[in-house]
Amino acid sequence: MNGPLKAAWALTAFVVVVGAVLWVVTGRAVFAVFIVLGVLTAVGAWLSGRSTPDGRTGPKENNPS
């Protein structure tokens, strides 16, 4: 796991926790948006952190010779 991916997971946790705490403290459901944004950040971090399956190196290059 590289630095930017760790930062994305930390941001995810922070946003979700802040949203939940503010929702409980204030009673305003608008802070549910924080939780939704945190989940979307988690999905993005998970998708960008996946590696390619064994035997695949990525897209084929088109090198006309």
The pLDDT assigned to 48 comes to 77
Domain count, the chain: 1
The pLDDT assigned to 51 comes to 60
Cα–Cα distance, 48 to 11 (Å, whole number): 15
The pLDDT assigned to 56 comes to 58
Assess if residue 58 is contained within a domain: no
Cα–Cα distance, 46 to 8 (Å, whole number): 9
Assess if residue 26 is contained within a domain: yes
Assess if residue 13 is contained within a domain: yes
Ranges of residues in the chain whose predicted pLDDT is under 50: none
The pLDDT assigned to 52 comes to 54
Assess if residue 51 is contained within a domain: no
- Residue-wise burial string across 37-57, b where 16 or more C-beta atoms lie within 10 A, e elsewhere: ebeebbeebeeeeeeeeeeee
Assess if residue 24 is contained within a domain: yes
